[in-house]
Amino acid sequence: MGRYNFAPQRVHQAATRLLQVQGSRNATSPQPPPPWYTVIGNLPPSERLVRPPLQPAQRKGRKASKLFQPVKLRYEEDQLRLDFFGDHPWELARPRQVLEHDGKDYQKFDWSQLEQPTKQVDGESVVQRQAWLMCQVRHELDFEASPRLLEYLLSEAFEDEVVPLFMKDYRIELSTSRLPLKEDLSKMADDVRMPVQLYLTWHPKTPYNLKDASKHSYRFLAEQGVDTSLINKRSFKANIRHSESVAQTLRNTDLAAIGKTYNIDIALGSQVAVKPFAEEAFDALPISFSYSRNASADVPALLDHLATLLKINKSAILSGDLPTPEPDTYPAYTKLGAYDKARKEFYEIRHAQEIERRVAREEALWTGAEFGPSPLDIGMKLEDQKYEEWREWAAKEILAIKQLNGSSANARDQDAPLDVEADDVNAALDEVEPSVPGSKRGQQAQGGALVHP
Q: Examine the domain organization and report whether 296 and 218 are in the same domain.
A: no
Q: pTM for the complete prediction?
A: 0.63
Q: What is the dihedral of CA 372, 376, 377, 380, to 10 degrees?
A: 160
Q: Tell me the C-alpha distance between 349 and 345, whole Å.
A: 6
Q: Which residues 6+ apart lie within 8 Å of 340 measured at CB?
A: none
DSSP string, 176-216: EES---HHHHTTS-TT--EEEEEEEEE-TTS---HHHHHHH
421 vs 241, residue with greater confidence: 241
pLDDT at 48: 57
Domain check: are 389 and 315 in the same one?
no
Quote the pLDDT of residue 344: 96
Tell me the CATH number at 172. 3.30.300
Q: Containing H/E element for 291?
A: strand 282-292
- Is the pLDDT confidence value at 356 over 50? yes
Residues 156 and 219 in one domain: yes
Provide the residue range defining the domain that includes 396. 375-444
In this structure, the answer to whether residues 171 and 243 fall within a common structural domain is: no
Is 121 part of a structural domain of the chain? no
Cβ-Cβ contacts under 8 Å for 12 (sequence gap 6 or more)? 37, 40, 41, 44
Residues with Cβ within 8 Å of 285's Cβ and at least 6 positions away in sequence, in order, are: 239, 240, 242, 246, 247, 250, 268, 269, 271, 272
Domain match, 166 and 226 both = yes
Q: Could you tell me which residue, 69 or 174, shows the higher pLDDT?
A: 174
Mean pLDDT of 393-407: 86
Note whether 225 and 197 are same-domain residues: yes
Q: Rounded to whole angstroms, what are the CA distances from 254 to 239, 240, 295, 303, 430?
A: 18, 17, 20, 15, 93
- Same domain, yes or no, for 226 and 244? no
318 shares a domain with 266: yes
Give the separation between CA 201 and CA 199, rounded to whole angstroms: 6
Closest by CA position to 82, among listed 335, 363, 385, 443 = 335
380 within some domain:
yes
Is position 330 within any domain? no
Domain shared by 159 and 222, yes or no: yes
- Which DSSP symbol is given to 161? I
Is residue 105 included in any domain, yes or no?
no
Query: Which one is predicted more confidently, 349 or 247?
Result: 349
- Choice among 63-72, 115-124, 239-248 with the minimum mean pLDDT: 63-72
What pLDDT does residue 446 have? Answer: 46
Q: What is the mean predicted confidence (pLDDT) over 35-43?
A: 85
Same domain for 141 and 219, yes or no, is yes
User: In the predicted model, what is the mean pLDDT of residues 292-296?
Assistant: 89
Read off the pLDDT of each residue in 361-376 and give the average, rounded to a whole number.
Answer: 88
Can you count the helices (H) and strands (E) in the chain?
A: 16, 11
pLDDT value of residue 393:
94
**Sequence-ordered list of residues with C-beta below 8 angstroms from that of 239, at least 6 positions apart, any chain:** 272, 274, 284, 285, 286, 287, 317, 318, 319
Q: Output the pLDDT for position 418.
A: 52
Q: Is residue 125 part of a domain?
A: no
d(CA 125, CA 135): 16
Among the residue ranges 140-149, 252-261, 423-432, the one predicted with the least confidence is 423-432
Q: Please report whether residue 56 resides in a domain.
A: no
Residue 430 in domain: yes
Please state the domain count of the chain: 4
CATH value at residue 263: 3.30.70
- For 172-209, write each residue's pLDDT tens digit: 999 998 888 888 887 888 788 889 999 999 988 877 78
